[in-house]
Structure 1
Amino acid sequence: MRIAMLSLHTSPMQQPGSGDAGGMNVYIQNLSFALGALGHEVHMITRTASESESVQVGEGVWMHQIQIAAGQELSKEELPSIIDPSISAITEHLHGLKINIVHAHYWLSGMVGMRLAKQWSVPLVVSMHTSAAAKEHESGIAEPENRKIAEEQLLLECSRIIANTPVEANQLERFYSVDSHKLDVVLPGVNHRVFHPNQDKLQRPLGEDDLHLVYAGRMQRLKGAHLLLQAIGEAKRQAPNLRITASIFGSLSGSSDYDLKSIVSTEGLQDAVRFYDPLEPNKLALAFANADVVAVPSLSETFGLVAAEAQACGTPVIANAVGGLAYAVNNNVSGWLMAEPEVKLWAQKLIELAGNPELITLAGHGALEHSGLFTWERAGVATLASYRQAQSQFQR
């Protein structure tokens, strides 16, 4: 099978935690490698403002960076303007390559994939990763109307939809009236050759402490790093005898007024928090393995790959009970889910964990066991089953 894997707004090979790159990048890249290892041919397609380039990046896997809107650095909000130019650019670049199925990721790629699938007379499979309606419901942050309209059309016209978790599948049924027979649930995986607990222990980056937390992800309000910092500040006021520290890995994404360092200053956490650039997977695994707890304070999350990767390192997770995180984390077994993204609630849990290290040790064992649910090999096989069903329905 020859698969066109569309990811127009961000390259699957981009470093997660920088720009708009995050868990979706990890998902597309690793799923593509898993499908290639199963003997299929995968063509990952993304947009670049510079010269077009095609490179084989793995067994049966190619990365096509196609020049669209040359020389223009576009924000995510501006990307809908490139939907029409993308059709012709991709068609020209892949000329002569017979595609069997289009798998589009995120609504923007879905709109392009819808047109390409019709042009090539092949089925379209869509993975939303996040939807406007679910995002609004969980975070309270309004989404553009054009996105909502586009998502409704896309979900209606595509052949099949792959959801990351049963939670996401339920959201698509609830908010978009998607027929459950059109939905497949494929759990994302973890690269267990990279993310595992057998790491060398490092010296504490901030000296001796009672609880060391790690946050890894983009610096944007939706990802909730501000909530974590405010909770550490609140915990410090409530329990000044406990030393709680945090290492924050990532870079600013989106609004430039999202100033985490000013929160550190306001909360008096200069000696307790350090900021670092995004890490490549091997180094990120080391950071996870050396944390007491990995924090995922997102206000909305379709799955939460960081949570799954942290648990594969034997490190428990504290997260908000939103979206797929309620599935990615086994509450009170592999980590702890906060009922509300509320500073005092988080602070109370941090104080409890800092004073009871045995809870962390026990949850670490649960985290490692729970992570066994998530493998890319399993995800590849399940995705292929969805493709076959899409083809079968398309040919009727």
Structure 2
Amino acid sequence: MTAATILSRTYPPDVYCGAGVHVTHLAAALAAIAPIELRCFGAQDIAEEGLRVRGIGPLLPPEVDLGSPPGRALDALARCAAMVAAPPEGAVVHAHDWYVLQAGLWAKLLWRRPLVATAHSLEPMRPWKADQLGPGPYALSGHMERTALEAADAVVAVSEAARRDVLRHVRIAPERVHVIHNGVDADVFHPGAGAALAGDLDGLDPARPFVLFVGRLTEQKGLEHLLAAMRHLSADVQLAICAGRADTPALRARYHDAADRLRVERGGVAWIEGLSGAALAPLYARAAVVCCPSVYETFSIVNLEAMACGTPVVAGAVGGNPEQVRTGETGWLVPLVLDAAGAAPADPDGFARDLARALGEALGDPARARALGAAGRRFVEGACAWPTIARRTADLYATLAAQARGSTESFR
């Protein structure tokens, strides 16, 4: 039997978020240990050594608007059903994120497979989605997530902070929640990658210092706070916004317009689209500093990629950021107190000023910034290499499979 069946919404060629990056690298690293089956949304049909990938296409009738929030939630449920119509090949099923957690739950009930669920984020920690999606779809996504997590034989939290969030919001025994970090490919993301950076990326001058933002266009990533912070910095400092997929067209327009306004005010703002994966490494390695102004992060892959490239990080003190970024060690951690809803800084102006102060320190002392960046590189090499993370995940599979068989046979 295949060691595990992984369930994911995204897998190449359609990867747009941290969960998809995680699944892509984890599957490859696990496949080097034992055979892995992966089922995802899409048209994939891939057979590689140790890894079999099958995509599930849309199944709802054409009159359903799959671009609407209700349509996306119902589409996920329909594909979840298709994912488990055939018995999983794996001895264990491992589901990632709310889109496919119900498939994992149904595989546990229908095919009697132990369920591992990775909580890359939690719906209760993203209250802005209630306005973005509407109360009905948001309630449904939360229900899909919560019921599967509560039934899982093991929940993987990607940081200690994420584990605390799971225990606060999900009715689950603490011993069933395990911390296994996100990882980074330190061979792809490395300090020497900056030599490959091409000039004239939307006007970005690689020879001049620049602050780099990499992320999806979503309330969570806090781009507006970085844009506000840049108004407190010298106009000699450039800002490179490497924009990922937007949650909605309205959000994309909002952030793009805000970047345009900043460009008119001070110049030096580059808006870069279409880069992902290894193509980002030259930007990370050439940046003076990478900024993570998010209001919610479990264990940022962007931070890990920046640190692997030897670039210091400025980040808000939320979620798993303090487990990666330590002021005076690997970067600058900026105090961040959220409002009562947990959706935004309680003092947005103060947060922007504090971001600007930390960015100014990084830009004003390049030697210290390089030293902190080098320390970040050592951190990710020691704690966040994918083979290490795959080994820990495989050991968890082995424990659950052995418990299901009533034996102590190891997963090797």
Class of the TM-score when normalised by the shorter of the 2 chains: 0.7 to 0.9
Confirm or deny that 1:316 pairs with 2:306. Answer: no
Q: Could you state the TM-score of these two structures normalised by the residue count of structure 1? A: 0.86
Q: CA deviation at 1:47?
A: 2.0
Q: Could you state the TM-score of these two structures normalised by the residue count of structure 2? A: 0.83
Matches within 5 A, 1:53-92: 53-56=44-47, 58-69=48-59, 73-75=66-68, 78-92=71-85
Confirm or deny that 1:336 pairs with 2:332. Answer: yes
Matches within 5 A, 1:237-252: 243-252=236-245
Q: CA deviation at 1:37?
A: 0.6
Q: 1:175 aligns with which of 165, 169, 177?
A: 169
Find the counterpart in structure 2 of residue 31 from structure 1. Answer: 26
Q: CA deviation at 1:6?
A: 0.8
Distance 1:149 1:251, change over 3 A: closer
Q: CA deviation at 1:45?
A: 1.4
Whether the 8 Å CA contact 2:159–2:323 is kept in 1: the answer is yes
Q: Which has the higher contact order (CA 8 A, sep 6+)?
A: 1
Q: Letter of the 1:347 partner, please give it.
A: A
Confirm or deny that 1:390 pairs with 2:391. Answer: no
Q: Secondary structure at the match of 1:250?
A: strand
Distance 1:43 1:211, change over 3 A: same
Q: CA deviation at 1:269?
A: 4.7
2-structure distance, mates of 1:278, 1:113 = 32
Distance 1:270 1:45, change over 3 A: farther
1-structure distance, mates of 2:111, 2:95 = 14
Confirm or deny that 1:150 pairs with 2:141. Answer: no
Distance 1:209 1:47, change over 3 A: closer
Distance 1:335 1:310, change over 3 A: same
Find the counterpart in structure 1 of residue 215 from structure 2. Answer: 217
Distance 1:15 1:81, change over 3 A: closer
Find the counterpart in structure 1 of residue 228 from structure 2. Answer: 230
Confirm or deny that 1:260 pairs with 2:219. Answer: no
Identity %: 23
Q: CA deviation at 1:309?
A: 1.0
Q: 1:195 aligns with which of 189, 214, 223?
A: 189
Report the number of matched residues: 378
Q: Secondary structure at the match of 2:113?
A: coil
Q: CA deviation at 1:163?
A: 0.9
Q: How far does the alpha carbon of each residue in 1:259-286 deviate from its partner, in whole angstroms, 9 at most, with x for none? A: 2232234333562111111324332111
1-structure distance, mates of 2:93, 2:107 = 8
2-structure distance, mates of 1:81, 1:120 = 23
Q: Secondary structure at the match of 2:116?
A: strand
Whether the 8 Å CA contact 1:68–1:89 is kept in 2: the answer is no
Confirm or deny that 1:12 pairs with 2:5. Answer: no
Q: CA deviation at 1:177?
A: 4.1
Q: Secondary structure at the match of 1:192?
A: coil
Q: CA deviation at 1:160?
A: 0.6
Q: Letter of the 2:250 partner, please give it.
A: D
Q: CA deviation at 1:245?
A: 0.7
1-structure distance, mates of 2:259, 2:73 = 36
Find the counterpart in structure 2 of residue 104 from structure 1. Answer: 95
Whether the 8 Å CA contact 1:212–1:245 is kept in 2: the answer is yes
In structure 2, runs of 5+ residues without a counterpart are: 337-344, 346-350, 407-412
Distance 1:116 1:82, change over 3 A: farther
RMSD of equivalent CA atoms: 2.7
Q: Letter of the 1:300 partner, please give it.
A: Y
Find the counterpart in structure 1 of residue 122 from structure 2. Answer: 131
In structure 1, runs of 5+ residues without a counterpart are: 237-241
Q: CA deviation at 1:134?
A: 2.9
1-structure distance, mates of 2:90, 2:393 = 17
Distance 1:148 1:379, change over 3 A: same
Distance 1:293 1:220, change over 3 A: same
Whether the 8 Å CA contact 2:314–2:359 is kept in 1: the answer is no
